[in-house]
Structure 1
């Protein structure tokens, strides 16, 4: 009789164990082993960069890591996924990522496809030119120049529609490709957000070769992209961003990633994306 009771108890324990596993519960206050997938840029030094040794660095990486921790995920639980400018909406809508933190400017066109939390950073579109270039002093000077940007970026769209419609605009797959063209003199300028340009200019191999034109051509409010209509996740991320600013982690991340470039950042923007 005792043997039969012991067997029944063991069977019940197995059932409970399987049930807990199926529910995905970790029981770990620090976030457990639950994985989270976050889209970032892999080719933007200072913002989002995958280094040759497989590490991930940049302001967006620090923001994403902080937010993930507030959502219950340790840094080791994060799976980083490359989110090129042209692919961000597709990654979110297909469920390939939980959210995207990839110098992702909030605009009305994108908000038709995805929702945003934030913003968490205010950048401005600018130009990166060769250090000895004195011919580009304003946006209109681009009309007779070869300009490079990345496919799907708001910077490229802004140039085509507003700034220099006659510029010879080349849209490539990544900013590093544009930078190579700028160095080799196959293009005259690279346009994107000043934060990204500062990151490139600050790299050791590029120091002294390039300069920012110092033009505030637009306001780019970076938001965290997530599935359309997910107000629950949006609210949680907004709270995490507010906490990051309040406890000083936001300012620390700015100085860590942009300080060496002498980049003068704007103050942390107010949260506006709430529905």
Structure 2
């Protein structure tokens, strides 16, 4: 009889403890890293580049800077997250579709050009920036005024990039291609006159040229060799998230935050950016 009383009392205590635990936790579980469930609350993991100054860069002190970082932060806040809830994750170009489909990130803002091949695998919100393939030259070099002037010039791009090959195949067949492991190496070569020009998206070029170490040393040629619409990559079929991100981008443009971010990240390179593209007009 005594044993039954003790057991009943223990059960009552356990029941009260469980009820208190259930009532005391009003915050969403953070364990999903923002990868699943409704937006707002908890943490959100966002894919970015961490090695592109002006676009997405992780500084030595661990901070993240760049236009894409500013855009991603604005979107996250509009989705209901505080800045302290944002977890930035490096997503290299070759890994972006996999990171989205696997759920490693909620969305990606990483100089992610929208094209038909990618639209088969992921959805895009935006576009939020219209970039163009361009050429960066030394500020005092007036010998390259049109794409054809790249003939017999040493043209640099990173290994595996199609940018330099596009120039050589379509515009300047006699250009001497130089492929380096990174854009920083191309810039060093350009500064020392080992390289005559560097080609990739103008937004990326402007970001590098805007660094304190390079201010005033380089200029964009303004060739506009291609159109690159940057979009926010997200899981295919997530119409609700796409709608919310587009609404956030529209607000960012309307309230002037978009222009402010462009000026802050690209301004020092005299980047003549296009106006903000029409949000939701995916071509």
Normalising by structure 1, what TM-score?
0.83
Secondary structure (helix, strand or coil) at the match of 1:52 reads coil
Determine if the alignment matches structure 1 residue 60 to structure 2 residue 73. Answer: no
Deviation at 1:6, TM superposition (A): 5.3
5 Å-filtered alignment, 1:54-93, equals 54-93=62-101
Q: Residue 16 of structure 1 aligns with which residue? A: 22
Consecutive unaligned residues of structure 2, counting only runs of 5 or more, are 32-38
Q: Out of 241, 244, 248, which is 1:236 matched to? A: 244
Query: Residues 65-98 of structure 1, C-alpha deviation per residue, up to 9 Å, x if partnerless?
Result: 0111112221111111223333323332333222
Provide the C-alpha distance between the structure 2 equivalents of 1:232 and 1:81, rounded to a whole number of angstroms.
23
Q: Assess if the C-alpha contact under 8 Å between 2:210 and 2:267 holds in 1.
A: no
Determine if the alignment matches structure 1 residue 96 to structure 2 residue 104. Answer: yes
Determine if the alignment matches structure 1 residue 7 to structure 2 residue 31. Answer: no
Determine if the alignment matches structure 1 residue 148 to structure 2 residue 156. Answer: yes
Normalising by structure 2, what TM-score?
0.81
Question: Between Structure 1 and Structure 2, whose CA radius of gyration is higher?
Answer: 2
Determine if the alignment matches structure 1 residue 112 to structure 2 residue 120. Answer: yes
Q: Assess if the C-alpha contact under 8 Å between 1:235 and 1:274 holds in 2.
A: no
Q: Assess if the C-alpha contact under 8 Å between 1:150 and 1:175 holds in 2.
A: yes
RMSD: 3.2
Provide the C-alpha distance between the structure 2 equivalents of 1:14 and 1:107, rounded to a whole number of angstroms.
52
Consecutive unaligned residues of structure 1, counting only runs of 5 or more, are none
Query: Residues 136-187 of structure 1, C-alpha deviation per residue, up to 9 Å, x if partnerless?
Result: 2222233423322235656346435533455343444432232223223343
Secondary structure (helix, strand or coil) at the match of 1:116 reads strand
Q: Residue 42 of structure 1 aligns with which residue? A: 50
After superposing the two structures, state which structure 1 stretch, 106-115 or 163-172, moved more. Answer: 163-172
Q: Assess if the C-alpha contact under 8 Å between 2:210 and 2:265 holds in 1.
A: no
Q: How many residues align structurally?
A: 271
Query: Residues 182-203 of structure 1, C-alpha deviation per residue, up to 9 Å, x if partnerless?
Result: 2233432111222222222222
Quickly say closer, same or farther: Cα 1:92–1:171, change in 2 above 3 A: farther
Q: Residue 176 of structure 1 aligns with which residue? A: 184
Secondary structure (helix, strand or coil) at the match of 1:102 reads coil
